[in-house]
Amino acid sequence: MARSIVSEIKRDHIQKLIAGGQRVDGRNWDQFREISIQTHVVETAEGSSRVKIGNTEVIVGVKMTVGEPFSDTPNRGVLSTNAELIPMASPNFESGPPDENSIELARVVDRGIRESHMIDLDKLCIEPGKKVWINFVDIYVLDFDGNLFDACSLGAVAAIKSAIVPAAANGLGEDYPMPINCTPVSVTAVKIENSILIDPTLDEEKVAAARLTVTTDDNGDLRAMQKGLSGALTLEEVKNVIETSRRLGVEIRKLIG
Amino acid sequence: MNNENNTRELVLPGDVLDDGTMKPGAGTYVHDGKIFAAMLGIKSVKSNFVNVVPLGGRYIPAPGDLIIGKVIDIGPSNWLVDIYSPYPAPLHVNEVPWRVEFGDTSRYLGVGDTLLAKVLSVDETKRVQVTMKEQGLRKLQGGQIVEIAHSKVPRVIGKNGSMIQMIKTYTNCRIFIGQNGRIWMDGNMEDMVHAMQAIKMIDEGAQTLKLTERVKEFLESVYRKEE
Amino acid sequence: MGGNSDMKLIDENGIRIDGRKVDELRPIKIEAGVLKSADGSAYVEIGKNKVLAAVYGPRECHPRHMQNPAKAIVQCKYNMISFSVSDRKRPGPDRRSVEISKLISEAMEHVVFTENYPRTSIDVYIEVLQANAGTRCAGLTAAAVALADAGIPMRDMVPAVAVGKVNDQVVLDLNKEEDNFGQADLPIAMIPRTGEILLLQMDGHLTQAEFDRAMELGVKACGEIYELQKDALRRRYAITNSGEVEDETKDEPREMNEEA
């Protein structure tokens, strides 16, 4: 609790720097911290990744089991995304069932993947109306220094891309790569005073008035958006973030490979 | 001079420090007549006492310590100050330089305010009280705060204050160092960046030797360039 | 324990299915200080086990009613992440993790100098990222390194290992198949220097002679793991020695601040 109160001095310092076009760690307003993506990190998962953006680190696993489809989509595979903000990642995370933050996080990551049809769920039907592949995407935050939306999104996408459908173990023929249609990329910005900053650190998030996450696909089209925090954004600011997300999305997509 | 061993040897919990000729100092424990390290740190010998200087760990307040804290809660007759220790420190209205009426506390210090204070007392259960009643203690405004491991504070201060004095002279910044690992500074933006870099050098490299020289070289190179 | 002794887990030459001899440990890797937010952390791989441990503390004890006015309480939480096992495990604690958490807390409580920090809590979080038998031992091994990395005062490092019985032979450091189809499982944690045993569980079937042999193997293995724990910390805090000696500054006057 004590740690989440930002000192006035820190707040003033960040705002003063921003007014001069600078950030505490010397980045440009539209620059990401160092990103590292590793896949195939856990062999008990069908797909897995460990992603770092600066000091924020997440580990994501994809598990696939055979199960029943939803009644309104009898010929489609199922996607279920879960995020855990585990206490080791931050002094402010508590043990327990997912709170509103982990739920929002999971749902936004899920939306980006679902709305872009990243996983070709139609190809994951085994027996129409009876058996389909159920995909569990489980995200665990290991170290928290801001921008969980992008780290978790990136982790989920990398894990899904590297996943192998465990057909053999389920008596359904040979294993094959997860059917992928596209690679959605999310880019998050915060608004501090009148400035927009991409990929906020924890301190920047604490001082921010509003946050906007934009997920684009390989064509640069919008697939998901989420505005957060209790401040307001102008339409121009929103358009600026969208355009920046599109631009940076191209670079990040290359990193995922 | 005296039998001081100043080479920097890393020790781990359970390492044998001495088998009986020396006396056990801070950060050690005795078992079966031998002295063992009780924590990860640097072995240090002074006047026949063998100590372990911790490299990490939380700041534990001691009476008289100058500290920099942040107000995290307000009550009618006190404030609660986070001093970056396992123990939050109440600051009572009687321990501030202003006359505060009951219930009027938020007028003087608000949540998020930073202050320079002193540890007044610590009891056996480590209940801490802080005070702002001494000369020089105050609310801090502007500038910026640097966080370092509290165990590195003596190195940032230096022998007889030599290290911090050198940094202040080169960067022309006002700098207050809290024993709890919080450092406040104020000056020009660029000068503060240099001061912060010098301090980070010490925080990250305190166990390496020739530290004073390296910091001096860094400051000289940075300021020579700007002439 | 499957106890299916028809399954051949050791061949005629005494070689196990992963190529090890009966008294051999799986390959071990230990890294200290791998996370930024936590006060201390460690990552351990033992064979195919991958375990991460992080320490916060000493810090204010929550819930407050658990505070001890005389010392710190040590709260270890062991958890297996959902994809650490072949069949996905629903996130959240189950009865097994609650029991393991309790045992690891009790073991660490014995070595930490808790009297130094009354009314606080020292929180240790252990997450198993990938499991292959012996995760509680790997977790405890990681927890001990994370505690030292966090600067928590403690008497010594604590290594842990599981010994077992497979095809009527006592073997060291069971892997997953041996744990599932073997005849006994005996996880232990101890302080090698003093011989104190801090964690001990057993399930299966062991004669006294088998138990003695198992402890012999376990004690020796703990000695090896202990050295690896210390080595991980030494590498993390390696001191570069340029040959010259600096002035000791430990007992400088505590107030060196200029008046405005």
Residue type, A80: S
pLDDT bracket for residue C251 (50, 70, 90): very low
**Residues of chain C above pLDDT 90, percent:** 84
In sequence order, which residues have a C-beta less than 8 Å from that of residue B101 and are 6 or more positions away?
Answer: none
| CATH fold match for the domains B66-140 and B144-225 | no
| Rounded average pLDDT over A82-100 | 95
What is the model's pLDDT at position B227?
Answer: 53
CATH domain B5-54 topology? OB fold (Dihydrolipoamide Acetyltransferase, E2P) (2.40.50)
Instruction: Check residue C233 and give its pLDDT.
Output: 97
The pLDDT tens digits of the residues spanning A152-198 come to 999 999 999 999 999 999 999 999 999 999 999 999 999 999 999 99
Tokens 């020089």 correspond to: B136
Structural contact between residues C199 and C102, judged by C-beta atoms closer than 8 angstroms: no
**DSSP per position, A194-239:** TEEEES--HHHHHH-SEEEEEEE-TTS-EEEEEEESSS---HHHHH
The answer on pLDDT for C62 being more than 90 is: no
Which amino acid would we find at residue C231? D
**Domain residue spans of chain B:** 5-54, 66-140, 144-225
pLDDT at C249 over 80: no
Q: Which CATH superfamily is domain B144-225 in?
A: K Homology domain, type 1 (3.30.1370.10)
Best C147, C240, C250, C251 member to test B by mutation, with max B CBs in 10 Å, is: C250
CA distance A59 to chain B (A): 27
Chains contacting C (3+ CB pairs below 8 angstroms): A, B
- C260 to B4: CB separation less than 8 angstroms, yes or no: no
CATH code 2.40.50.140 for B66-140:
yes
pLDDT in tens, B14-55: 999 987 789 999 999 999 889 999 999 999 998 999 999 888
| Model confidence pLDDT, tens digit, residues C111-167 | 999 999 999 999 999 999 999 999 999 999 999 999 999 999 999 999 999 999 999
**Of A1 and A16, the one with more pLDDT:** A16
Residue with tokens 């009527």: C168
Sorted by sequence, the CB contacts under 8 Å of residue C11 that are 6+ apart come out as: none
What distance in Å separates the CA atoms of residue C51 and residue A140, rounded to the nearest whole number?
A: 14
In angstroms, the CA C258 to CA C260 distance is 6
For chain A, what is the largest distance between any 2 Cα atoms, rounded to a whole number of angstroms?
Answer: 62
CATH fold, domain C28-232, is: Ribosomal Protein S5; domain 2 (3.30.230)
Q: What is the ipTM of this complex?
A: 0.92
Taking only the tens place, the pLDDT of each residue in B74-112 is 999 999 999 999 998 999 999 999 999 999 999 999 999
Residue C118 to residue B124, Cβ atoms within 8 A: yes
Domain edges within chain C: 28-232
Residue C238 in contact with residue B152, Cβ under 8 Å? Answer: no
Nearest CA to A110 among A142, A78, A87, A85? Answer: A78
Interface contact B157-C256, CB threshold 8 A? yes
Q: What is the pTM of this model?
A: 0.91
Q: How many CA atoms lie within 13 A of A30 on its CB side?
A: 12
B211 contacts in chain C (CB < 8 Å): 246
The answer, yes or no, to whether residue A146 has pLDDT greater than 80, is: yes
> How far is A140 from A138, CA to CA, in rounded Å?
7
Candidates A7, A16, A24: best to mutate against B (most CBs of B within 10 A) is A7
Query: pLDDT category, C5, cuts 50, 70, 90?
Result: low
Structural domains of chain A, ranges and CATH numbers in brackets: 24-256 (3.30.230.70)
pLDDT at B177: 96
CA angle, C41 as apex, C40 and C42 as ends, to 5°?
145
Considering only CB atoms, A2 lies closest to which of B88, B110, B144, namely: B88
Per-residue pLDDT reduced to its tens digit, B131-176: 999 999 999 999 999 999 898 899 899 989 999 999 999 999 999 9
Give the strand pairing for A131-143 and A56-67.
antiparallel
Give bridge partners of residue B88 from the DSSP assignment: none
Residue at token pair 């809590």: C121
Q: pLDDT at residue B192 above 70?
A: yes
